[in-house]
Amino acid sequence: MEKIITAKIRNEAPLAEIEQIASKFSPTLRLEVREAFLAEDEGDYEKAEGLCCRILDEDNSNPEVRMLLGRCYFSQGKMDVAGQVFFDLVQDYPKEELPHLFLGMVHHTTGNFHDAVKEFELVYPLQTYHPFYFTSYGDALQQIGKKKQSREIFYEEVAAYEATGFIPSPQMLDGAYQNLLYLDIALGNQQYSEDLESYYHFLDLVEMTEEMQDYLAGNIVYFRSLMRNKGYRPLFLEFIKHIKEKNYLTEENCSEILESAFVSWELYGCHEDSRVDAIAETYLYTSYERRYMKKDSVTPEECDRIMVLAYTYEWYICQYYPKHQKEMNYIKNTYPYSYKNCRRFLEKVQNDAEKTAGEILEQLHYYVKNTEKAEFERSMYSAYEKASKDKKEPAYIYDGVETYKRIQPKVGRNDPCPCGSGKKYKKCCGK
């Protein structure tokens, strides 16, 4: 079966319809009418907008040109004027689908989800399929908490594809699948497996361009948040294994997200594994957090916190490893992705734990320059003795995009520094 690289979205009128619309105007305007619709077809919305304005200055009665002007505003992100155009059309033609549909899309884009739902409801079910109607309607429903109804609307987009094989936009359909699968899990409706098979079929059809890989990687991050639901974890593992086996993600940043998903999955299992001590688990997590931290998306203070914790637990592992080699070998065999993430460092510890501890201490001391090194080292040993007695008490945190595990509470400015110096964080590593 041939790959589908792109699929044209046809909001625009075919040539025969353009000629029919143009014939309603005076001969002097017909050429501009044709040019306006063709400019939209070519994606030149600014040109099409200008032509529409000139046409409507002379004859503002034609609804097709008014719709075209509204679409041009919409495509350029000019939502205020687009909304006004579509609102006027709704008043003039209340029984027509398209003005309601586009007004609903404007409301959805601007975050007026209740108003969007009202407009979409007025034309449901559609007489004629239109791209982005179901996805916009489904998302608006989800935003106002109507998950069950939202799931049914997203499914209609998928069902249209399954019935016809038509893909108006690979990215749009991928988004429909993302929401459909998420809602299957959230609702516990027993339809996840069937919908996942449909998604796999879709992924086999589309060309994995860089953009599509970004979308798929984004889905992995999105679905990872569902691992708060323990029952979903084996399903998530099945999903990422399938993605890896199909080798969909070849772009470096996307394949890295896939690798991080395996580590994230393992960390949930690691937490519940009685054979993995709290220190070892926390070390694996802090290494994961540092490895996959996006420095451009965290504050300098948060970045320092992550680095301090990672170095602190690396130093702890230097003390811990020699007496717990059996446990570390167990981690290596049971949690291979997590171990791979730390392999080089653990090999250094295995070869010379004392030397490696000294190197880590130097790196950690950078954050506490105002403390004598000998005093700092003593405080680290004291902190390690305390940490070695800790039990597993992780907190699960949702940050608005994904769920992750924070083994220790976030360090406040006035809290004791996690490096063990005994000073407040703001006067130590948080300076």
pLDDT in tens, 33-67: 999 999 999 999 999 999 999 999 999 889 999 99
Work out the widest C-alpha separation in the chain, in whole angstroms.
Answer: 91
Taking 80 as the threshold, does the pLDDT of residue 7 lie above it?
no
Rounded to the nearest 10°, the torsion over CA 164, 166, 170, 174 is -10
Q: Answer whether residue 140 shows pLDDT above 70.
A: yes
What number of other Cβ atoms are within 10 A of residue 248's Cβ?
20
Over residues 193-220, the pLDDT tens digits come to 999 999 999 999 999 999 999 999 999 9
For residue 344, the tally of other CB atoms under 10 A from its CB is 9
CA 293 – CA 281 distance, rounded (Å): 18
How far are the Cα atoms of 237, 238, 292 from residue 250, in angstroms, in the given order? 19, 19, 18
Average pLDDT of the segment spanning 373-396? 82
Tokens of residue 270, six digits: 């690691």
Q: How far is CA 42 from the centre of its chain?
A: 30
Q: What is the mean pLDDT of residues 180-187?
A: 95
pTM score, whole prediction = 0.80
Secondary structure (DSSP) of 95-156: T-HHHHHHHHHHHHHTT-HHHHHHHHHHTPSPSS--TTHHHHHHHHHHHTT-HHHHHHHHHH
- Tell me what the pLDDT averaged over the chain comes to: 88
Judged against a pLDDT cut of 60, whether residue 426 lies above it is answered with no
Tokens 């690396």 map to which residue?
A: 314
**pLDDT tens digits, residue range 262-311?**
999 999 999 999 999 999 999 999 999 999 987 777 898 899 999 999 99
Residue 4 β-bridge partners = 206
Could you tell me which of 49, 57, 48, 47 has the C-alpha nearest to residue 25? 57
Nearest to 221 by CA among 290, 327, 292: 292
Distances (CA, A) of 356 to 175, 315, 328, 360, 362: 47, 8, 17, 6, 10
